Chains A and B, each alone.
Chain A
Amino acid sequence: GQNIDQPTEMTATEGAIVQINCTYQTSGFNGLFWYQQHAGEAPTFLSYNVLDGLEEKGRFSSFLSRSKGYSYLLLKELQMKDSASYLCASGGGADGLTFGKGTHLIIQP
């Protein structure tokens, strides 16, 4: 089976940094994905980690530790438009993704 855990909601301040954690337990592992989803819109791909370590892409970075079943998404220089749900997803043994319930990130001025 597969299980993805991430916090339900987080609040951060514009211009600051926030880290969203995700832990996973999967039978078979083919990578860890992060998606951003604004209300009523499609999830949009942010990052993909298949090896341990940090992947940096502009203001967003994602980290993976396979031995710990742990990932985080780091968002820097927060902007109001970053208010959204952030979905952690594991590519398990099958080809469909297993998603967490998402972390609702609220950015305050």
Chain B
Amino acid sequence: GAGVSQSPRYKVAKRGQDVALRCDPISGHVSLFWYQQALGQGPEFLTYFQNEAQLDKSGLPSDRFFAERPEGSVSTLKIQRTQQEDSAVYLCASSLASRQPQHFGDGTRLSIL
């Protein structure tokens, strides 16, 4: 597709369940980013990939959060043993190269009950 695609668009899970969020970046984009956005706030950086290499994961809130991009294209953000405070919109962005403008997907709205 022409833009960044994320799925699912909405996800509801019970506390304690594991979830997996998918991101399809724009074709040919080397850099991929994950952000977390709480209601009424700006996005907060979680992690960054350059091709398949995870170069920065300093923003991941805990070791329950794990991201991968094994073939340098599609990326998955996994959250284990979800907690209510994980409820947020998770945004994926990609860019042609590092420090170029990032293009965002519509996000996955995660609700933990």
Docked-complex contact A102 and B41, CB < 8 angstroms: yes
User: How many interface contacts (CB-CB < 8 Å) are there between A and B?
Assistant: 61
Give the CA-CA distance A87 to B40 in the complex, in Å.
Answer: 11
Asked whether, in the complex, the Cβ of B42 is within 8 Å of the Cβ of A42, the reply is: no
- Provide the bound-state CA to CA distance between A91 and B98, in Å: 10
Q: CB distance A42 to B99 under 8 Å?
A: no
Residues from chain B with a CB closer than 8 A to the CB of A48 are: 101
With both beta carbons as reference points, the residue of chain B lying nearest to A42 in the complex is identified as B104
Q: Does B43 contact A (CB under 8 A)?
A: yes
Question: Please, how many angstroms separate the alpha-carbon atoms of A35 and B1 in the complex?
Answer: 22
Given A89-B42, A95-B31, A101-B41, the answer on whether A41 and B106 have CB atoms closer than 8 Å is yes
Interface residues on chain B, number (Cβ under 8 Å):
28
Q: Write the chain A residue with the least CB distance to B107.
A: A42
Residues of A near B18 (CB, < 8 A) are none
Given contacts A42-B91, A42-B105, A43-B43, 13 further A-B pairs with CB under 8 A are A42-B107, A43-B91, A44-B104, A87-B43, A95-B31, A95-B48, A95-B50, A96-B33, A96-B48, A97-B102, A99-B42, A99-B43, A101-B42
CA gap between A48 and B58 in the complex, in Å: 24
A7 within 8 A of B: no
Asked if A33 and B101 make an inter-chain contact with CB atoms under 8 angstroms apart, the answer reads: yes
Residue contact A95 to B99, C-beta cutoff 8 Å: yes
Given contacts A42-B105, A45-B103, contact A95 B56 (CB under 8 A): yes
Question: Is A71 among interface residues, defined by CB-CB distance under 8 A?
Answer: no
Shortest beta-carbon distance from B11 to chain A in Å: 15
Confirm or deny: B45 has a beta carbon within 8 angstroms of a beta carbon on chain A. Answer: yes
> 25 A-B contacts, Cβ less than 8 Å apart?
A30-B99, A33-B102, A35-B104, A41-B106, A45-B101, A48-B101, A87-B43, A94-B45, A94-B58, A95-B48, A95-B55, A95-B56, A95-B98, A95-B99, A96-B33, A96-B45, A96-B56, A96-B59, A97-B33, A97-B102, A99-B42, A99-B43, A101-B40, A102-B40, A102-B42
